[in-house]
Structure 1
Amino acid sequence: MDQKVIQFFPFRSFVDLSFFQALSTKKLNDFKLDQSEKLVTGLYSIPVALSSGSNNLVSLNGDSFEFKISTVASNEYISNGVLLNFNTIDDFRNLDKGKLIQQQGQKLWNLIVNGEIELTPSKLSSFYLITFSDLKKFKFYYWFAFPAIHSDWNLDSEFLVSRVSEDEGLILAEIEKWSATVNPSQRGFFLLQKSDDGWKVGKLDQWNDFYGLDNGVVTVGFADPSSSPHHPGWPLRNFLTYLQHKAVRNVKVLCYRDLSYLNTEHRSLWLSLKFTGTDMNKPIRVTGWERISIGNSAAKLAPKMADLASLMDPRRLADQAVDLNLKLMRWRIAPDLDIDKVKNTRCLLLGAGTLGSYVARALMAWGVKKISFIDNATVSYSNPVRQSLYTFNDCFNGGKPKAKQAAESLSLIYPGVESEGYSLSVPMIGHPIANETSEKIAYDQLVDLIQNHDAVFLLMDSREARWLPTVIGCALDKIVINAALGFDSYVVMRHGSRESTTDRLGCYFCNDIYAPTDSLADQTLDQMCTVTRPGVALIASGLVSELLVSIVQHPSGRAAPATKDPDSADTETFTHPLGIVPHQIRGFLHRFEQIKVTGQNSPYCSACSDAIIDAWKFEGWEFVKKALNVRNYVDEKSGLAEVQRKADEITVDENWDFDDEESEEF
């Protein structure tokens, strides 16, 4: 009778990034220089598809060190492992690997002989893992061994390999029911017995109940991670060694591969095997170091190396963590959301106080990578409790410059952000020039900063401080967003774009009948400080960041028309993945009310009218000098003064003349 040598598909390893992260933590905090063996746990599974990439994989992840039985899925099986982490690459390389795997095979054989393997059958599919962790370069060298003891079994030519028949299909349901009742460490290998009542499934420690002393022909099964139509998976090798020790000479093996929820034809295989050796307890031979394939060359014995420098570096990990929420948002809620448009928007914050601090934090949460600050103040003792980028220590010795400290704080919070702070006094209308040289330098720097950013946020305390950035931002057609606070009210608005194809939206100054003037002179302390309910700044800051995101998601960008509620009769029909793009949002905390307002550009605006923008573009600093030094210059230039004069020229109609006597009657 012809016989055929049985061939097995070897195990392969799959190590998730989270395992190396956990190993790094263990090495730094627990292992240190300890080179003793550590227990780890892997999982293998019945593949869900015949061509699945998970075939014959033993997988490890971050939970492998602190493994929980409750996490094992119904189609997963435990592989008990041992980790040996070396302190040097030389120790890793110079290990006598032949001696090691022989020792592991002998340990496994001892477990079979003394009966312990029947209590924990998962050790039949165990592994040994050697590693070296180069934590400076985030490189991990590792090599798996899946010790397998050689045993003398061949396929019986009378019954080589066949699929489970429809008549035998009930056995698969019985295995699935049995698996749900036993510990996951025991369900990978099982005993089978057929009777008039059907199939019976049992644990290895029930051997005597199933077969007694008659081991002539037995039927067993194992969870098979292979999807080959002809070859079983690696776990069968040590299972056959166990059967050899049990003095079995003929065995029918079920390679269990079926998952009930797949609703496919039976994939499980029957093997008929004969023991061909003469000595049931001869010295053991062990194999099992993992082979790897490099290019088109044949697989060879060699370790693997995971170079995770780009992933394990803390800055990279921070980048991944910041991106996670944004990616989940896109994957689960808004698949059309263009995250890169937000991340690549360069943001300039004028004002690094309460609003500036909260706006910056919100922009970072959206993944914005470029955030710059302009502020000429220093951190005072009243700031840290309201301004989240400062601490008590920042107030010492007169206080650190706010803009620079805000930028440094952002970098400490998230190193991936590119942040700069500029201690700069913005020239203010109504405040005559005291030192033209220094103010010209500040002006030139302000223009350059606005030019080199995409979005400008006006978050200052006074109206006059917002005027010049409004002019420049409008002239350069940047996204300009304004936020202003009252005691219990706030306004958040975007300035209109000169590129708008529909009605152009107004700016912060479009409703003024006079150009802004010096509002700080002769003010008392309570008038100079922004006195507001603490929650108002947080609400307004959140709206500022969300308004920016809404603008950049709109295909028209900064020129997007104002939209109200989707069911409003006069609303723009387009909405982007996050909803609408309003012009102004005004809130009133005393009655917890929020409204949306739309206002059109004024042709006489002191900041964004064509006359003012054209004057700045043509004259530059000379225009700014006149605006700051000459009283009512901006009113005249914009046309506001003429509007006022026309209003004053209204006289009483001559038909209403009356004498003194008539007036007395009135």
Structure 2
Amino acid sequence: MVVQFVPFVSLVEPAFWHAYARLKLDELRLDDSQIPISATYSPPLAVCEDEADGAAGCTLRVGADGLHAKSGRLVQFNTLQAFKSADKASLFYDTANRIYRAVRDSGGDTASLNEFLLLVYGDIKTHRYYYWFAFPALLSDPPWKLEGEWESATCLDKQLLSKVTTQLAAQAHGAAFWINKGTLVPLCDRGDILLFVDPSPLLAPGWPLRNILAYCAVHLKMRRVRVLCWKDVPGAEPHRSVIGTLALDAAEDALCFTPRPDTALPDAVGWERNSHGRLAPKTASLGDLLDPKVLAERAVSLNLQLMRWRMVPDLPLEQIQAARVLIIGAGTLGSYAARTLLGWGIRHISFVDNGRVSYTNPVRQPLYEFSDCLSGGRLKVEAACDTLQRVFPSVSAEGYDLEVPMPGHPVSDADMERMLDSVETLERLYDSHDAVILGTDSRESRWLPTLLGIAKGVPVVNAALGFDTFVVMRHGVGDAPRLGCYFCSDVVAPTNSLVDRTLDQMCTVSRPGLAAIAAATAVELLVTLLQHPQRANAPTGEDGAPHQIRGSLGAFSTVSAECSSFWGCTACSPSIVQAYKKRGGDFVIEVCKDAGVLEHISGLDTLKRETDALSLDIDWTDSE
């Protein structure tokens, strides 16, 4: 059976046209010199039978970095008429001749064996691009034939496949190798099996194999080749890859090519067809798409889309990106958390903080710069929002300059109204956001945000730092029994920890890399909850999400822990939550004046008295 080869289908990313337009405007202008260009292909996402989708092709991707390397040539024209009237056959066969020289004389460089051609006319003013790809493939005479049928690669020895899989994962962009006694060797050497990284989504092999086989026939004098078409992601198990034996019915000294008329050089085919199946150019009419903001929007989504394509097919990106996240504390933890949220494509981020940017902040907190420290320092929430807008203009960033009421921090009569307004603002923010990341710099400042999360059923992910240790945890929501909160391990109420402090206690003294690790872990934990079917009520364990992640840079270790809510917790116990729901801001103000109220309402004071009484009954005699 004559071997059929699946042709290329080009996919030019909008960012490439943006890069070309910038190059044309800033450097080339009317210079129509040919430009080196690169493109990539990779194994397909899925493989189907030929009959299922006969129109499918091998995807060749040209991205924003396509102008920085060479595996092909871009021939540009300054007018549409010049593009239409160009001697395309001459350009095509000039490329085919170079491929023939590589087939005959090169050391098996697959980029040279499969050089491609791209003709372009770009109307920069209207952002309309006319382009035509050619992928010259030398015509073999006689044609290669398949002996028997394509078989699954799993028919090979498992130990051999394991070795090949490991080695292939370490090869950056290799397209073809020989397998020689279980080792991948260059194409210029000979081996037992030709391994071809195959972009074809069909059972038949992809277009690049044609010229690779021509190299085997001409340079290596081979007439029979066992070919392993690797259709799986390099490093993955070969579930979709196939193997077969291809043969060329020709003498060893035969040319094995169809000659072009009036020349001894080989003929070639390979112009790309357009979407209508015709041999004609394609057009890309981008218009507003080349607005830098639009490009940034698409670029942010690219990595996430690739994650869904390759790694997590059921990843609910839209659900994650639609989340509205409130960050309480715009310091080191909050800054790193915000940047990581952007990486996940989350578009709505709000900050709560009442600090100003100081000279110690910019080197540790990536949302601030030296200029933000001048003239007494900008409000952190304003500077943070401005930075996020500069990083990603499509983000909706809002900042709220308010002080979070804290137990043990008395509120004067003059500040009473302001504190009550702060409580109401926080309540509104919890009502309008889907999740909270808590990264304030004191224990007591976490009390009210923790209580509000329990009372309103909003998931809170808490991150806290030591010198070289961190804890990231999610607070349980709903009725008990539930997962514990940040305060469930304490048997004392949070009090004022900000008075009578030395210099090292007034600053967050941590290893510089710790906050980035903890903040990123907090965001990843939050995203796990956002995509889980049970959201904040996701169970712990393999099918859910951890409760606590505790890490140490001293030991470079990370462990997961879990604890249930404590009946006497001063932040999430039913009695505390009911007291807040009943009295609201007045209850918060009372706690600010006297943190002991929390121990009384939660029952901690009774527990302490009973424990003290029990200790008095212990007989510490030597006879015991």
TM range (shorter): 0.5 to 0.7
- The aligned amino acid for 1:131 is Y
1:509 aligns with one of 454, 472, 487: 487
Describe the SS at the equivalent of 1:457: strand
Structure 1 residues 545 and 81: CA distance shift in structure 2, 3 A: closer
2:576 aligns with one of 606, 612, 620: 612
Is the contact made by 2:325 and 2:437 (CA closer than 8 Å) also made in structure 1? yes
- Map 1:117-132 onto structure 2 (within 5 A): 131-132=121-122
- The aligned amino acid for 1:609 is S
Q: How much does 1:179 deviate?
A: 7.4
Q: How much does 1:507 deviate?
A: 0.8
Structure 1 residues 207 and 408: CA distance shift in structure 2, 3 A: same
- In structure 2, the residue matched to 1:592 is 556
- The aligned amino acid for 1:405 is A
Describe the SS at the equivalent of 2:450: helix
CA–CA separation in structure 1 for the residues paired with 2:598 and 2:441: 21
- The aligned amino acid for 2:76 is L
Q: How much does 1:521 deviate?
A: 2.0
1:133 aligns with one of 95, 104, 123: 123
- Map 1:482-631 onto structure 2 (within 5 A): 482-499=462-479, 503-563=481-541, 575-576=542-543, 581-630=545-594
Structure 1 residues 396 and 602: CA distance shift in structure 2, 3 A: same
CA–CA separation in structure 1 for the residues paired with 2:388 and 2:293: 13
- Map 1:223-372 onto structure 2 (within 5 A): 223-225=268-270, 305-309=283-287, 311-372=289-350
Describe the SS at the equivalent of 2:550: strand
Describe the SS at the equivalent of 2:554: helix
CA–CA separation in structure 2 for the residues paired with 1:515 and 1:59: 60
Structure 1 residues 310 and 604: CA distance shift in structure 2, 3 A: farther
2:12 aligns with one of 16, 21, 38: 16
Is the contact made by 2:407 and 2:496 (CA closer than 8 Å) also made in structure 1? yes
- The aligned amino acid for 1:469 is P
- The aligned amino acid for 2:27 is D
CA–CA separation in structure 1 for the residues paired with 2:459 and 2:8: 54
2:78 aligns with one of 82, 85, 90: 85
2:445 aligns with one of 437, 461, 465: 465
- The aligned amino acid for 1:592 is F
Is the contact made by 1:178 and 1:201 (CA closer than 8 Å) also made in structure 2? no
Structure 1 residues 357 and 332: CA distance shift in structure 2, 3 A: same
- Partner deviation per Cα, 1:485-537 (whole Å, 9 max, x = no partner): 2222222211111256xx41111111222221111122232222222222322
- The aligned amino acid for 2:78 is N
1:439 aligns with one of 406, 419, 432: 419
CA–CA separation in structure 2 for the residues paired with 1:635 and 1:331: 52
- In structure 2, the residue matched to 1:267 is none
Structure 1 residues 481 and 408: CA distance shift in structure 2, 3 A: same
CA–CA separation in structure 2 for the residues paired with 1:608 and 1:544: 20
- The aligned amino acid for 2:26 is N
CA–CA separation in structure 1 for the residues paired with 2:389 and 2:500: 39
CA–CA separation in structure 1 for the residues paired with 2:531 and 2:460: 16
CA–CA separation in structure 1 for the residues paired with 2:501 and 2:129: 69
Describe the SS at the equivalent of 1:445: helix
Q: Does 1:633 align with 2:600?
A: no
- In structure 2, the residue matched to 1:214 is none
Is the contact made by 2:38 and 2:67 (CA closer than 8 Å) also made in structure 1? no
CA–CA separation in structure 1 for the residues paired with 2:549 and 2:275: 61
- Partner deviation per Cα, 1:193-232 (whole Å, 9 max, x = no partner): x999985457979979x7xxxxxxxxx973345xxxxxxx
1:176 aligns with one of 214, 217, 220: 214
Structure 1 residues 482 and 81: CA distance shift in structure 2, 3 A: closer
CA–CA separation in structure 1 for the residues paired with 2:61 and 2:452: 59
Structure 1 residues 180 and 353: CA distance shift in structure 2, 3 A: farther
Structure 1 residues 409 and 174: CA distance shift in structure 2, 3 A: closer
Is the contact made by 1:376 and 1:425 (CA closer than 8 Å) also made in structure 2? yes
- The aligned amino acid for 2:454 is C
- In structure 2, the residue matched to 1:8 is none
- In structure 2, the residue matched to 1:222 is 267
Structure 1 residues 550 and 121: CA distance shift in structure 2, 3 A: closer
Q: Does 1:391 align with 2:369?
A: yes
Is the contact made by 2:359 and 2:370 (CA closer than 8 Å) also made in structure 1? yes
Is the contact made by 1:499 and 1:559 (CA closer than 8 Å) also made in structure 2? no
Describe the SS at the equivalent of 1:444: helix
Is the contact made by 2:567 and 2:573 (CA closer than 8 Å) also made in structure 1? yes
- In structure 2, the residue matched to 1:448 is 428
The alignment's TM-score, normalised by the length of structure 1, stands at 0.62
- In structure 1, the residue matched to 2:405 is 427
- Partner deviation per Cα, 1:420-439 (whole Å, 9 max, x = no partner): 22211111111122211222
Is the contact made by 2:319 and 2:531 (CA closer than 8 Å) also made in structure 1? yes
Is the contact made by 2:289 and 2:295 (CA closer than 8 Å) also made in structure 1? yes
Structure 1 residues 644 and 650: CA distance shift in structure 2, 3 A: same
Describe the SS at the equivalent of 1:591: coil
Q: How much does 1:469 deviate?
A: 0.9
Is the contact made by 2:83 and 2:121 (CA closer than 8 Å) also made in structure 1? no
CA–CA separation in structure 2 for the residues paired with 1:493 and 1:118: 61
- The aligned amino acid for 2:130 is Y
CA–CA separation in structure 1 for the residues paired with 2:376 and 2:515: 25
Q: How much does 1:96 deviate?
A: 9.1
CA–CA separation in structure 2 for the residues paired with 1:335 and 1:291: 29
2:461 aligns with one of 466, 481, 485: 481
Superposition RMSD in Å = 4.9
Moved more, 444-453 or 628-637: 628-637
Larger of the two Rg values belongs to structure: 1
Q: How much does 1:351 deviate?
A: 0.8
Is the contact made by 2:83 and 2:120 (CA closer than 8 Å) also made in structure 1? no
